[in-house]
Amino acid sequence: MDPQRTVLVTGGAGFIGSHLCDELLAQKYSVICFDSLITGAKSNISKALTNPNFRFIECDVTQELPKLPKLSYIFHLASPASVIDYQAHPEETALVNSMGTIEMLKLAQEHQARFLFTSTSEIYGDPLEHPQKETYWGNVNTVGVRSCYDESKRFGETMTDLYVGKYGIDGRIVRIFNTYGPRMRKTDGRVISNLVNQALEGKPLTVYGDGLQTRSFCFVSDLVDGIMKMMVTDGLSGEVVNLGNPEEYTTLDLARKVLSMTGSSSTIVFYPLPKDDPKMRCPDISKAIQLLGWKPTVTLEEGLGKTIEYYKTV
């Protein structure tokens, strides 16, 4: 492995992590992938596993870790990330983003590697400011059903900032807004995986609440491009940047779009809104545009089309 181009991706067998590994391999990096496989899957990295520059290690980053060759970048993505997944694994989620982040920061310090923490739009909670800029502090319930994720990501940001200030590591933070695409687990409970699979199976589409809550959806290839730019661009240590697609849709709009794009005759049924479900979410990406020259290029129609085709095959 080339020490100048050896990188670590935690959560590399997950939905976003596996696409990031593929992109790094395509750019000729040597990739070490850590994943505990609690929500990731080996099937996501089946192609990467055939590449001699890829090494998969099944491990939990909060536990003792194997000895590693010299790393130049550490991408810390490991965490359950869908509402259903982190509520099924609240302790693992809280610990991987807190203790796990500290372990990865220590590793970055030891290797003098550049560090990127993948935070989330969830740190804004149920936002009172719209769209959300990086300067907004958020509106988060510390003891709610989402707190294992929201609060541990907030703490992970704090520790990253602390290691930048106190130990001089080169650390960056991205806040990822709703992302979708192939490899998102069929049963992870997210709105796009649920609605598309329900439509394909001729089942009723489950819209929660009145369906007027909003989200904005970023296709995974755009997101990976943003993560790469955030890592390789010099001079961004200590920066926090939103990555997401600013086109905003209500859940009901999305359900109607899924019905028309799949040609499904499924009905729409309304279920109660889950507790602490944010009423709106949309990134302000002016900082990403300015610092990275990045903005999403894949339209919802294009991305949904690829996602629908993917779900037909799994």
The CB-of-305 to ligand UDP minimum distance in angstroms stands at 19
Among 36, 39, 97, 213, binds ligand UDP (CB under 6 A): 213
Minimum CB distance to ligand UDP smaller for 19 or for 215: 215
Which residues between 289 and 308 bind ligand UDP (CB under 6 A)? Answer: none
**Contact of 243 with 111, CB cutoff 8 Å:** no
Which residues between 248 and 277 bind ligand UDP (CB under 6 A)? Answer: 251, 273-274, 277
Size of the site for ligand UDP (CB under 6 A): 16
Is 149 a catalytic site residue? yes
Collect all residues with Cβ–Cβ distance below 8 Å to 196 and sequence separation of at least 6.
Answer: 258, 262, 304, 307, 308, 311
Measured CA to CA in angstroms, residue 88 lies from 62, 94, 109, 148, 195 at distances of 18, 12, 32, 11, 21
Region of 41-49, 92-100, 103-111, 205-213 interacting with ligand UDP (CB under 6 A): 205-213
Among 208, 268, 305, 306, binds ligand UDP (CB under 6 A): 208
Region of 8-16, 55-63, 189-197, 236-244 interacting with ligand UDP (CB under 6 A): 189-197
Q: φ and ψ at 177, to 5 degrees?
A: -90, 170
Mark 80-119 with x for binding to ligand UDP (rule: CB under 6 A) and - for no binding.
Answer: --xx------------------------------------
The yes or no reply on residue 185 touching ligand UDP (CB under 6 A) is: no
Minimum CB distance to ligand UDP smaller for 107 or for 191: 191
Q: Which of 16, 93, 30 is nearest to 62 (CA)?
A: 93
Minimum CB distance to ligand UDP smaller for 125 or for 171: 125
Give me the active site residues, please: 149
